[in-house]
Amino acid sequence: MQDYRKADPTFINFVPSTAGEAIDLFHRMKRLGLRPEHFPEAFVWVTRKLNDEEGAKFEEYLVAPQGVSAADVLKGADPEQEKIRLQLVAEAEQRDLEEAMRRARIDEEDDEKAVSPLSSEPLVFDMDDDDDAPPPHDAPMVLASPR
C-alpha cells in the first residue's frame, strides 16, 4: 500500500525501500534546505533500509546521475597521440637535463670565484666627530643606554 502522504512534496517522514524512493527523499530534503555539508549523513539516512542491490543503484546514481554514456567510455590510447606524448616527454627530460648541467657549471664557476664576504678587520666608526652625520648604511645601530 502506497502512503498517500507522499503526494505532498514536503513530506519526508518515510523510509525508502527502493533506490528511486531514496533519490526522491534526498531531493525532497534538499528542497527543504538540506545543506551540502550534510549530504553524506543524508545519503546514509535515506539508504538505511535499502538492500544491497538497491543500495548499489543509489551509489551509481550519486556517481553518474545522468547515467554513463557509451560514447564517453575510453576505448584506449590513440597510438599516434601516445607517440607524440612520448616524444614530448623525451624533449622535456632533455631540457631538464641540460638546465641541470648548466646550473652545475655555474655553481662550480661561482665556487672558484667566491670571495669571503667577511673581512678580518673590524669596522670602527668614530661617532664623536660629527654627531649629526648618519652612520654608514651597513653600520650596526647602537642605541643610547636608558640609564
Please give the pLDDT value at position 3.
Answer: 79
Confidence of residue 36 (pLDDT cuts 50, 70, 90): very high
Q: Between 115 and 26, whose confidence is greater?
A: 26
List the chain domain ranges.
Answer: 4-67, 77-109
Q: What is the mean pLDDT of residues 95-99?
A: 92
Cell output for 73? 567510455
Residue 61, C-beta contacts closer than 8 angstroms, at least 6 positions apart: 19, 23
3-state secondary structure of 115: coil
Please give the pLDDT value at position 102.
Answer: 87
Cell output for 86? 612520448
Give the lowest-confidence range in 22-31, 77-86, 136-145: 136-145
Distance CA 116, CA 113 (A): 10
pLDDT at 116 over 60: no
Contact 17, 57 (CB under 8 A): no
